[in-house]
Amino acid sequence: MSAARPSVTLSLYFAEFVDFFAVSLRRPIPHPIAMVKCGVRRQDHTIGGNARLRVVGFHHPFLCLKTGDNAAMSSMCDFNAILPAPFGALGVRHAHGKLIGLVFLPPETLPSSPRDAFSERVSEQLEAYYANPEHEFGVPLEPKGTPFRMRVWRALQSISCGNTTTYGAIARDLGSAPRAVGQAVGDNPLPIVIPCHRVIASDGSLGGFSHSRIGYTLEIKRWLLRHEGVAVQG
């Protein structure tokens, strides 16, 4: 993994900290800053609207703090495998014979071979999907969330390959608000397998992905949709 210069790293740390501190003044954050060491990408905007991505260790931990996602905070470096992917890397987590988490990691993340037979099975399933987007995943899943989130995630599983829906359409089906649906879609712990990338904005644009509207995570959504033969705007 490439390293940022000390001066750049320090400035990016403070940029994240100031943003986090502003949020912490508005609501209590129960978890300490403990996992800043994990390397993920920080996006900086350059003149003309282009973007430059740096590999530093501050963005994702502070994001977990800002959203109160303490489970993600405490476990984001605890993977059963880190698998290479066409768009970067995926952290795999499972427990009791069920897949409980897939986490997008930047391309610079070093792979970590599957530690066990279940992780190897997940790796084989993902490779099959990369080769054929219509591949149906055959591993037991155990996403954990509120009853509402579980309803949204079940709705996502009904979207077939090559098709998309909108946040508003799901909201109407569930008798909820698009914003609440968007939050639940972004909280999906098993992206790709539970295909949250197939939910787009009502104007046909990508919308967000994993609570981001910019950066490499949105490019992953673009890649996944194109891989499945979906024409992507923008």
| Structure tokens given for 82 | 């880190």
CA distances from 212 to 44, 114, 119, 128, 207 (A): 14, 28, 27, 27, 9
Question: What is the distance between the alpha carbons of residues 22 and 45, in angstroms, rounded to a whole number?
Answer: 21
Angle at 138 (CA atoms; ends 136, 104), nearest 5 degrees: 80
| Spatial separation of the C-alpha atoms in residues 103 and 71, rounded to whole Å | 13
Q: Looking at 64, 77, 161, 196, which residue is catalytic?
A: 196
Q: Which residues contact 179 (CB under 8 A, 6 or more apart)?
A: none
Active site annotation includes 196:
yes
Contact 95, 189 (CB under 8 A): no
Orientation angle between helical segments 147-157 and 167-174, nearest 10 degrees: 120
DSSP state for residue 136 in the 8-state scheme: P
- Positions marked active-site: 196
